[in-house]
Structure 1
């Protein structure tokens, strides 16, 4: 898709399957099952697809996928991995390599977003890129607590740290692209606003992971601070809808982007996620 002068595409970062009760939290299954598919094990399919933004002079990646060869057999089984990442193959479609990426913007550092940052030796997947991460998120990642250590993996640290830029409330890594700290899903979770020539999009990441989560009260059981997620969605979602933003999705298995009606429920325009084989 295009947002003004920006071209936005999807990279194959792999896919996972997570328990429906975890993804939809306290929402009863009779409600969420009408809006999102699930299998016999009550798992819901989720993409883990980074976004590539190409501007006139920069190439920017949002989040990093689950990597290739980074998960153990047990982890592959537990997280229902159907396909590992193929970032280099995806970039090749645009005549790019990992060396061409100028910036990596991380909404947060949970394993399904950050495992694709490095290889098993800790070498950066995107060796020439500046990596932007919210400051509290970085410290939580480096020193997780008893709960968060299950999703902040020490193995995802690497030499990209030398090229990491931390921010607190907000930062603008590129003109028209703004990262905003929201908290909620994690203490340092951030959303990313994109604007060019009057056209707008937002990636709300895991406080709004699928189109089914448009209701501000529908938040994941993985959220460390669910009331903060709800507050952020209550404050931001309606604003973005009224200002005619596209919503971009990293996890939704069917939709890459959508716009919503003022009722806050009905999708008025959609772009389906490309299929990777």
Structure 2
């Protein structure tokens, strides 16, 4: 299993880990955008589902092992849920970390953009009949509104905020309000939009600038500020934050990195946003 890596200056290495695969309805993933438009950029299967990776990003910087998101875990979902979410592969984090001569015990911090199941399922794992923390030595950073909704979901969000994903880690969680800087130049920023507590990640190191827009731009095909998800709780907020962050980043020809994209790990567009200047493609031999 070859792992894709990306160097950010001298002191930062990004490594994508295999966190599993879902297949979600393409119409839901592109909201009100007509299928003839979105399907040219991100092809669906015969069930109108699109392939979505759930691949955590290991950020090694300043002597720390920082994990962005946790994948979909293993053995956490019923067969019915796997079918509904189109899960064809569960997490392989242990194997991926092993290639780097690491284990889950070596993770110092976990940065969560939000706590939906496909991002948070990997936070806990079964140990006998008990769900325990997957990263026992880590501090887990979650935006405060997101953490409260995780613990007290409403009629809509209870379908993705599961007690199985927070009860075993509550003692490790540290919350923040507007932003959290893990190490200099690597920062979670609260945006809302996809969920009330949704965050994005900004990396500014070594003369490079990278943006991880999480689920307000889950794939390269969601670059258009108006292309937002039907899953978004506050779609107008998603649009506003894409205007605030995505458009200036494209103008600066910054990098964008992804958790869900089936094709690209990272891309950099020209100032018009119409042409790719550079990209890092996912190694499909791992499938």
Q: TM-score, normalised by structure 2?
A: 0.94
Q: Which 4+ stretches in 1 moved above 6 angstroms?
A: none
Conserved in 1, the CA contact under 8 Å of 2:62 and 2:183?
A: no
Counterpart in the other structure of 1:2: 7
Gaps of 5+ in 1: none
Partner of 2:85: 79
CA contact (8 A) 1:59 1:103 kept: yes
Residue range with higher mean Cα deviation, 117-126 or 251-260: 117-126
**Structure 2 counterpart of 1:264:** 273
Q: Please give the root-mean-square deviation of Cα atoms over the aligned residues, in Å.
A: 1.0
Aligned counterparts of 2:252 and 2:173: Cα–Cα separation in 1:
32
Tell me by how many angstroms 1:262 deviates: 1.2
- 2:100 matched to 1:94? yes
Mean Cα deviation higher: 256-265 or 212-221: 256-265
| 1:198 correspondence with 2:207 | yes
Deviation at 1:158, TM superposition (A): 3.2
Q: 2:249 matched to 1:240?
A: yes
Equivalent residues in 2 for 1:37-186 (5 A)? 37-120=43-126, 121-186=130-195
User: Paired residue for 1:23?
Assistant: 29
Equivalence for 1:214: 223
| C-alpha distance after superposition, 1:38-90 (max 9, x if no partner) | 11110000000000011241001000110011110001111111110010101
| Structure 1 position 235, deviation (Å) | 1.1
For residues 121-176 of structure 1, what are the alpha-carbon distances to aligned partners after superposition, in whole Å with 9 as ceiling and x for unaligned?
23111110110100001111110110111111111113322121101111112111
Provide the secondary structure at the position in 1 that maps to 2:133. Answer: coil
How far 1:243 sits from its partner (Å)? 3.0
Q: Distance in 2 between matches of 1:273 and 1:118?
A: 26
TM-score, normalised with respect to structure 1: 0.98
Assess if the C-alpha contact under 8 Å between 1:215 and 1:265 holds in 2. no
Secondary structure at 2:119's aligned position in 1? helix
Aligned length: 277
Counterpart-to-counterpart distance in 2, 1:28 and 1:68? 35
Conserved in 2, the CA contact under 8 Å of 1:122 and 1:157? no
Partners of 2:178 and 2:189 within 8 A in 1: yes
Matched position secondary structure for 2:260: coil
Q: Deviations over 1:168-208 (max 9, x none)?
A: 11111211111100000000000011121211211110000
Q: Deviations over 1:232-272 (max 9, x none)?
A: 00111012123332101100101000011111232221101
